[in-house]
Amino acid sequence: ETGVTQTPRHLVMGMTNKKSLKCEQHLGHNAMYWYKQSAKKPLELMFVYSLEERVENNSVPSRFSPECPNSSHLFLHLHTLQPEDSALYLCASSQALQGSYEQYFGPGTRLTVT
């Protein structure tokens, strides 16, 4: 499945580093999502974008900063992270935000904060 791609697949960063996660969808969808997946919270919604506009920020700390330059691309900028931020970060897209549309997930970025 190559509808939604994410890079990098694995990332190790120190607490003082700045890095970015990239997501690209090739499905012509209008909504994109960032999820955090960890043992404590299996699928935790972070951000939602619809037509490049952020429509939801689920009380995510400011050290996570999303960016959606167009409907095909979504970024998650990371800075001064904490070890508890280590998790699998999943990007997803759907045809639209409203309505009965399934979400297509990317393979995820496995992030380790040291």
Partner 1 sequence: GQQVMQIPQYQHVQEGEDFTTYCNSSTTLSNIQWYKQRPGGHPVFLIQLVKSGEVKKQKRLTFQFGEAKKNSSLHITATQTTDVGTYFCAGQGAQKLVFGQGTRLTINP
Residue with tokens 């050290």: 63
113 binds partner 1 (CB under 8 A): no
Considering only the stretches 18-26, 67-75, 78-86, 96-104, report the one whose residues sit in contact with partner 1 under the rule CB under 8 A: 96-104
- In the bound complex, what is the minimum distance in angstroms from residue 39's beta carbon to partner 1? 11
Q: Kindly write down the DSSP assignment for every residue of 28-53, as one continuous string.
A: --SEEEEEEE-SSSSSEEEEEEETTE
Which of 81, 85, 105, 113 is the binder for partner 1 (CB under 8 A)?
A: 105
Angle at 87 between CA 93 and CA 44, to 5 degrees: 50
**Contacting range for partner 1; rule: CB under 8 A; set: 11-19, 21-29, 69-77, 89-97:** 89-97
- Residues 8-47, one symbol each (x = binds partner 1 by CB under 8 A, - = not), give ---------------------------------xxx-x--
Could you give the CA distance from residue 79 to residue 63 in angstroms, rounded to a whole number? 5
Q: Is residue 107 a contact point for partner 1 (CB under 8 A)?
A: yes
CA atoms within a 13 Å half-sphere pointing along the CA-CB vector of 90: 16
Structure tokens at 9: 């697949």
Question: Applying CB under 8 A, which residues contact partner 1?
Answer: 1, 41-43, 45, 48, 56, 90, 92, 97, 100, 102-108
